[in-house]
Amino acid sequence: MLEHFQCKTDEEIRKAEKEPIADEIADVVIYFTLLAHELDGAVERKLRKGRGEVSHEHCSGRGNSKRAGR
């Protein structure tokens, strides 16, 4: 993705051909979808955690937005 935007002006980005950028976005979505599947329910756990359905003990501090001053 970076190659399509790095060191370019806003005008150059607006005029850029959209298909290569769309292809890169599709590649990223495919990769993350496959990775999420391999992480055995990580997406579902994160969604439940966001709704407050997962106990803090279950999460053991991983992915906690309170870490590192966030």
Residue 11 resides in a domain = no
Residue 4 resides in a domain = no
Residue 65 resides in a domain = yes
Choose the weakest-confidence range: 19-23, 39-43, 55-59, 61-65: 61-65
pLDDT at 63 over 80: no
Residue 60 resides in a domain = yes
Residue 45 resides in a domain = yes
pLDDT at 67: 46
Would the pTM of this model clear 0.85, i.e. be above it? Answer: no
Number of domains in the chain: 1
- Its domain, for residue 67, covers 39-70
Report yes or no: 65 and 46 within 8 Å, Cβ to Cβ. no
pLDDT at 11 over 80: yes
Choose the weakest-confidence range: 5-19, 22-36, 48-62: 48-62
Q: Helices in the chain by DSSP H: which ranges?
A: 2-5, 10-15, 18-38, 42-50, 56-59
Residue 19 resides in a domain = no
